[in-house]
Structure 1
Amino acid sequence: MDLKAIVIEDELIIRKGIIQKVQWHKFNISRILEASNGEMGYNIIIEEKPEIILLDVNLPKMDGLELLKKIREDGITSKVMILSGHDEFTYAQKAIEYGVENYLLKPSSATEIEEVLEKICDNIIKEQEKDSRYEEMKKKLKDMIPFFRSGLINKILSGEIKNKEEILGASAYLGLNLTNEFFMVAVFIMENGFRDNKTSKDPEAKFIKELGMHELVSMIDDPGRVIVESHLYDKAILIISGRDEASTRKYCFSLIDELMKRISKEISSDVVVGIGEVKNNILQISQSYSEALAALEERFIDSSSKIFYIGDTTLQNSDTSDYPYEDEKKFMQSVKIGQQENSLVSLKAIIGYFKVKKEKYPVALAKIQLKRITYYLIQVAYEFEADITEFTDKIDIYEQIESFTTIDEYERFITEFTIKLCAYISKKRYVKHTATIRKAIIYIEQNYNDENLSLDKIADHVGMHPNYISHLFKKEKGESLSSYICRYRIKKAEELILKNQSLKMYDVAYEVGFNDPNYFATCFKNIIGVSPTEYRQLNAHNS
């Protein structure tokens, strides 16, 4: 990119000398403007907006510092080089306040000016590249807005975000209206859902029906009161809001009634909807969502209905405020690293909660939570590339999960699955770690004589953080890396001593990687029990 520069200097000889002697082309500066006073320079800068300004301080009509102040107030960000006969600190200090790149004292040679220009142009190029990357990211962000919007909605529904201001800030940026005070969630699903499609003779027809459901739900046009999430393959979700509880509930049922009529007419009667209760806090949207899912469980009891409202179900008096989320979190974390014992302890706490709370936490609602945990285990198994059939004796694991009707059935299944999955993950992690440690040992054996051999070098070779490889090595080998290196070097020293009787001990030390013969002797005695010299004498005597 070609640049423009302006030289503002009232002395004609100096100004023309700079313009003629500086090799501007070396810095891609194709236009050189000039001004003999501050006022003229200001007007040219405003009109031309040059990237670089070479500026004298003492100028007629408007001095250099005043000009600087004005262009900064006007938002001009050009790079400025001061050329001045003043070496007082106050001048330089003021110039720095206005973002001056360099302050040169006159007389300045063309070479000195070019050196500063090189730095200025390098900075301009870096800033332009940074701005270009930023603009490129802004364009990509615009394309990604629907995905970020969907991600935010799912975080709100899961209760992952705990800060109200964070939700409001992100939702406003992404074009989601969550400024109302009351919220209600509705969940639409196809009765003959996704898993049936796998065994259906005509899966395409069922996918088309699901697509039709998503499109009809997405056609709702009331951005001030309704947020639609229809990017999930198996469900479409509405977050409905209002200014008070009664009007929010009334609007929700009116909207859903109209929507279900259209769905029934244009697609089929296979769509059902679960509706959660009205909540007066944006952070409770996730509770309304959980209630909507729980309400859908009633269809296993009432197969004739299509609309299930939590307030009408057997779940309306349930108390979920003390659900052991921490135990669930620990369970999921322990499973991922193959810690069977910790996983089972956390699982026992979760199951125990359901059994103790069975009067206030009905089986239908417990089923949702346990089903979610079960699917998490399956997801982890896939992440670790496990064969699911090794963990269950049923051909269709999804059909098996859907058939469970009691907490005990879930407990037996999840416990057995967890034990097998943890054993698989633990074994896989051990094999991986063993290979890493072996790689580290080979590197040590090949480089033991390098006096600069260090933990950082070994970590870099195996591709791990130094602290982690140190921890892993000690766990696997029962000793620290430094201890192992020292023992291996002493072992090689023994071989050298026995092989070459005339080799000096300090040469032995250097040959095996020690840079201090005294430290070598100390290590040798600590490990072998005698000094290197005594070791040679004993072996010479024995031989």
Structure 2
Amino acid sequence: MRVKMLIADDEQIIREGILHIVDWSAYNIEIVGAARDGQQARMMYDAHRPEIVMTDIRMPKLDGLELMQHIRCLDEEAKVIVLSGYDEFAYAQQAVRYGAADYLLKPAMPDVLVAKVLEIRDQVSKLQQEREEQRRLHNRLNEGLPLLRERFLRELAAGGIADRSLIEEKARYLQLQLSPTLPCCAIVIDLDGRVTPDPAAHGEASLYAAKAELEEQCGLMGEVFVLSPGQLAWIAQFAELQDGVDSPVLLKQLCSELQSRLAARFQADFSFGIGTRSPDGQSLPASFQSAMAAVKHKTIVGLGAIILADELTQPQDGAAACPEPSEPELLKAMREGDRDGIAAAVRQALSPALQRNEVDYAVLLGMKLIDHVSREWGGLASGRKEGPLTEYELWQQLKRQQTLPDIAAELTRLLQEIAAHRLEGEHGEAGQQRWVGQIIAHLQEHYQEPLSLKRLSEMVFLSPNYICSLFKEETGQTISDYLTRLRIDRAKRLLSEHGIKVYEVANAVGYTDSRYFNKVFKKYTGMNLSEYRSLRSDTF
């Protein structure tokens, strides 16, 4: 590394001699100035901040000792070599007091002077290298600090650290907002995966984005970290938790607010499991275990739930087994097109799985129902162009569901679809027209809402693919095109009204992005929203 040096002496011959005694640049030394007095030397030092200063003692305007005082005020580590013709102990003593690196008497031998400067240069270079190494180590530590924090917090959650003093020491070293002496509570947050079509909202990126959002909202109320893939954890710790009676209510309220913020930003479901209150950091693992058990109950109550561990009821040993599903009643409901009866039969069939809180068991019970229907009806025709549904396809559809309510809803929809197709064969085109009419009525009433094929399929009990082909066959246009034209017609009416802004029109017909709706409007009408409004104004 190059080292900068400043020369200060009121004798020109001395200054010139030092400047040209050697080629300083060959030794990685840059001469930033040669001052003729102390005042000029101070100005040069302020401008360049050299690591080495070689100065005389007796100089006009500002002497060498005063210059050293000024330098020490700005940089305690700058190296000052005093070069003086005064062999007096008082001067040397004062120079040492101001931190002089060395004191040389004039006339100094060239080789002695150069050797001293190079010695000081080596000291400065070593110090610079040490600082650079410290900076690199500090940067590496800062880069790795988030990972170290996550590892420590996961270990703490798993009960891998029991020593209270060690918890306090590590928390302080990792700069965590945790105190082993204050009560806390573990909260487990599941990203349930029902995310909008935005690809950036999926996977690990969305998990860490959600973590950043939680950290911003939670502030100094504990620590947030990634517990496992698709799962975050929050160690909540703040003064209000000292009240053990009101803390569950407060935590549930806080989680509800956080859930709303996360859902609004990511358009996704987040389930919260709130563990039992821990009086100190040592009992935190038990709080985490209860939080994990709580969040698993989303498979019973549905995704996007907030569940308090204190509110969970433990199953009783020897509980009476739920009755077997009444398969004849299911077939009767399906033959009659009784949708409520089908839903009731499905609930009865899945009740043992609900009691045991086992998703896989629910799938097994659902396949038992499907097998019975298939045997009784000689197949599982559902109106698909691809042909009858296979049991493997039905099993796959059920396995994709994440909760017991989802499995019940999907199984009910599938059986209702099969029943509807059977009735369709009995009633012909009248049934198809009735279903299309239901879809059109729904779109006309809910055109401001996002299009959901799943919702339409559940409404008429047919698969999304089938209702799309059926709608196109009956109307000559796709459901999406029909909805777009419906929205444009509604927008035309609104544009005829005075006082409503263009972006308000877009919002009123279901578009959050007014610029995008402007393009859609122009595609279908040949004019943008403003042009259409102007035309209507001129007409009337």
Normalization by structure 2: what TM-score? 0.45
TM-score, length basis structure 1: 0.45
Look at both structures and tell me which one has the larger radius of gyration over its CA atoms.
Answer: 2
